[in-house]
Amino acid sequence: MAGVNRPLRVLVVDDDALVRAGLSMMLDGVHGIRVVGEAADGDEVPAAADAHRPDVVLMDLRMPRVDGITATGRLRRRANPPEVIVLTTFDADENILRALRAGASGFLLKDTPPAQIVQAVRQVAAGDPILSPRITRRLMERAAGQAGAYERARAALAVLSPREGEVVVAVARGRSNAEIAAELRMTVATVKAHVSHVLDKLDLDNRTQIALLAHDAGLV
């Protein structure tokens, strides 16, 4: 996570040089954000992450040697991993769901307006996931329809306290920590503590995975 006195550090990963150049040029022109490196394939990501210490990685899904799903999983298993936003051209691509389960903090379509990409980078760096309503609805419906998903999700969530369950539902609805605090009449610090406990109890990596589990369980 970026400190108060330095910009958010972003690593751009895409096999298309024009896409990398466009994203880098756009983000480098924004106050408080700095593109610290680029990678052309998923197999270059570990070395790039070590060299540049990014806070956020913009990750393409389809690359020739190591795809974005595999690269995301490898990153998220590291100590103090960066947040990952996956990028895709196809809003119905089932690999997006796999990328979220691998630990990505969210996803964007490559035709997303620049201002929304900037907001997405800031949002995931602050600990809030990017859940595009149009795409997420389709993914959640597919996830909920998988055989046994409902029962498994319900069983997993049964370990949570009632208050933690309320936080899970709010997270699944895309609420920020501040919004959850207002809705449930608690402090932001308490919300963060509940989210942390939920992640630990359910052995999950991020809020996006909480949202997926809640949708599997039919809570939203």
Which tokens hold the place of 215? 């949708």
The pTM score is: 0.68
- What's phi and psi for 85, nearest 5 deg? -110, 120
Which tokens hold the place of 135? 């795409």
May I ask the CATH class of domain 147-216? mainly alpha
Strand ranges of the sheet holding 56-60, from the earlier edge strand across to the other edge = 33-39, 8-13, 56-60, 83-88, 106-109
Maximum separation of any 2 CA atoms in the chain, in Å: 49
- Give the sign of the dihedral formed by CA 139, CA 143, CA 144, CA 150: negative
Question: Is the pLDDT assigned to residue 48 strictly greater than 80?
Answer: yes
Q: What are the domain boundaries of the chain? A: 8-130, 147-216
Q: Out of 27-36, 97-106, 206-215, give the one with best mean pLDDT.
A: 27-36
Predicted confidence band at 143 (pLDDT cuts at 50, 70, 90)?
A: low
Beta strand segments in the chain, E:
8-13, 33-39, 56-60, 83-88, 106-109
**pLDDT tens profile 60-72:** 988 999 999 999 9
Give every CB contact of residue 27 below 8 A, 6+ residues apart in sequence.
10, 12, 33, 34, 35, 117, 118, 121
**pLDDT tens profile 83-140:** 999 888 765 556 777 787 888 988 888 888 899 899 999 989 988 887 665 666 666 6
Give the burial class of 43: count Cβ atoms within 10 A of its Cβ; 0-12 exposed, 13-18 middle, 19 or more buried.
middle
* pLDDT score, position 151: 83
Give the residue-averaged pLDDT of 12-18.
95
Candidates 3.40.50.2300, 3.40.50.300, 1.10.3720.10, 3.40.50.970; CATH matching 8-130: 3.40.50.2300
Question: Is the pLDDT assigned to residue 144 strictly greater than 60?
Answer: no
Question: Is the pLDDT assigned to residue 54 strictly greater than 80?
Answer: yes
The SS3 assignment for 153 reads: helix
Which tokens hold the place of 182? 């207002």
